Amino acid sequence: MNRPQETTLELRGGAKMPAVGLGLWKIPKPQVAGLVEQAVSQGYRHLDCAADYGNEAEVGEGLERVLQAGRCRREELWITSKLWNTYHAAEHVRPAVEKSLQDLRLDYLDLYLIHFPIALRYVPFDERYPPEWIYDPEAPEPRMELASVPIAETWGAMEQLVRDGLVRNIGVCNFNTALLRDLIASATTAPAMLQVELHPYLTQEKLLRFCQQQGIAVTGFSPLGAGSYLPLGMASEDESVLSESVVGEIAAAHGKTAAQVVLRWGVQRGTAVVPKTARPERLAENLDLFDFELSDSEMQSLTNLNRNRRFNDPGVFCESAFGTFCPIYE
């Protein structure tokens, strides 16, 4: 793929999304509003949110502060959110995005994504929000309860959101090539974005090549690898790509940190990255990726670290945490 120095990624239809965003998964609620303010002050214009993160109301508080203070204009921001699994039925899609918009204190989203290709039984907002994975936490054996909703139905309702002006661009998360092919075949509007786990231990080269051929932009979540998954017991201490000797050598050669090298590898592949941090000192570091370029051999050295190691795998964590075997990857 190309090695862009540009700080934006162009989507189908011409929209330009900042190539580096702030991921807000697992950011504790008390820190979120202030972190959003700090991020915008340091130059971030791309925030990656989701209903399931449980902190969109706090993101909205931070956004309202920066917009009212005139630190930036709404049209300078790129706000992404995601449709949760319990809202896949067509009649639930618009209420779900309206809830996110209400919490975020916005009139529209720049990008709205289907969070997982997993439809779950509907849980009303006033019963539990966000509803997470388990249908009835009080049941004797709490489990996920799947719903028979085809992706085509959900996607048709997503397309309507664009026509209604609530959303500018739509896409999907955690889809493989087979699901993308099926979606494209039935869609009126093809997805503008695929968001998937991407880092040097999970390079997903075939998937990236397919998306490039189809004109689907790609965002990598968990672009630094194992860090977010250690507290969840989904990764081990010896699985840090940042500790790889080749990463350290490349970082020393460029006068950069290991994290900056790994993130630069991501954007230089032509993908966006949404690193998560709750540490203000990391905000500037994660954004400072555009004053150096990795050589072809350095890029290949990082790609060669691939282990096909997926940390975020419903086929593993759904069974262990939610009593339900629910694979989406073979």
Q: Which residues are catalytic?
A: 53
- Cα separation, 225 vs 246, in Å, equals 15
For 238, the 3-state DSSP assignment is helix
Q: Please tell me the distance from the alpha carbon of residue 156 to that of residue 146, in angstroms, as a whole number.
A: 20
The owner of tokens 């009212």 is: 68
CA 239 to centroid of chain Cα atoms: 21
Long-range contacts formed by 97-102: CB under 8 A, 24+ apart: 97/161, 97/166, 97/167, 98/166, 99/51, 99/125, 99/129, 100/49, 100/51, 100/56, 101/166
Q: Is 213 exposed, middle or buried (0-12, 13-18, 19+ CB in 10 A)?
A: exposed
**By the 8 A CB rule, do 175 and 116 touch?**
no
For residue 160, the surrounding DSSP H or E stretch is: helix 151-163
The pair of three-digit structure tokens given for residue 327, joined into one six-digit string? 């694979």
Q: Residues 206, 235: contact at Cβ < 8 Å? A: no
